[in-house]
Homo-oligomer: A and B are copies of this chain.
Amino acid sequence: MMKIGYLGPKATFTDLAVTTVFPNHEKVPYNTIPECIDAVSSGEVELGVVPLENAIEGSVNLTIDYLVHEQTLPIVGEIVAPIQQHLMVHPNHSDDWDAIRCVYSHSHAIAQCHKFLHKHFKQAMYEYTTSTSAAAKFVSENPELKIAAIANRLAAQTYGLTIVQENIHDYDYNHTRFIIVQKENRELSIDSPLYAGDKTTLMITLPKDQAGALHQVLSAFAWRKLNLTKIESRPAKTGLGNYFFIIDIDQKMDDVLIPGAIAELEALGCSVQVLGSYPYYII
């Protein structure tokens, strides 16, 4: 059994991802992304799971910035999870839930259910909480109030609430990516039926901000038929107008193609860092 740190509190979307992929391990919640990454670095936990993009709780950029600038830990896995928001009430109100006066949730979750709420609860008030699970907790502790929470299935289970409307989020295609970091760069010893493939993530810094430099960089991948599934520019520490790129290649690190592309990029004056080559799991 491993100790796995994650961005808490209990029953967040990160918790749901960890619980699904690592059902039989000890979970330790942390309040912020840096605290979770630090805990892996200090050996307090063996693995850390934090959101990488499109998160409800937790700022995307923080994860990459902290990994790149502060604690350089290898990425050893990725979890891709759908964002499914449900409307839940205290069991006392499961029959008269359409009379609720106020909806509690994280502001991002309320924004994600904008169309549903606009249609069904136009007159309701909203109260913003620091996480979706905090909203579920509040509803469970106040059975006398006519209120509902928007949160995930794990929050309903954890706090004993009844889901009265499933999947009220506006877009079905919404997914969150979580990365798994570890102190040493060795393969994850889990064998999950959710395994869906491998990818390699590179961080590339261009020699200077010049027209076409990125195009040149991508040539190194294109002629080798290496397929990129993600590309994102991020401001470098040096300030506005300077960028580095995060690139995902849809295969495991090999002996020829990826090392060849990296050598070619370095010859062009780029600096290249392999952030990880790892399996991903789709929930």
Residues of A bordering B, CB below 8 Å: 31-35, 53-62, 65-66, 69-70, 80, 106-108, 110-112, 114, 126, 128-130, 170-171, 173-175, 209-212, 214-216, 218-219, 221-223, 225-233, 235-241, 243, 245, 282
Contacts and interface: CB of A to CB of B under 8 A. Distances in A.
B214 A114 contact: no
A231 B229 contact: no
A235 B173 contact: yes
Contacts of A130: 106-107, 128-130
Contacts of A241: 229
Contacts of A218: 212, 214-215, 218
29 contacts: A31-B107, A32-B107, A54-B59, A54-B235, A56-B59, A58-B107, A59-B108, A62-B108, A62-B111, A70-B170, A80-B240, A106-B130, A107-B130, A128-B130, A130-B130, A173-B237, A173-B239, A209-B227, A211-B221, A211-B228, A212-B218, A212-B221, A212-B222, A212-B223, A214-B218, A215-B221, A231-B232, A231-B233, A232-B233
Contacts of A233: 229-232
B240 A227 contact: no
Chief secondary structure at chain A's binding surface: mixed
Nearest to A61: B54
Contact of A32 (B56, B69, B111, B245): B111
A175 B222 CA distance: 32
A31 B226 CA distance: 43
A171 B68 CA distance: 12
A231 B214 contact: yes
Contacts of A69: 171
Given A130-B107, A231-B233, A238-B173, A112 B226 contact: no
B236 A173 contact: yes
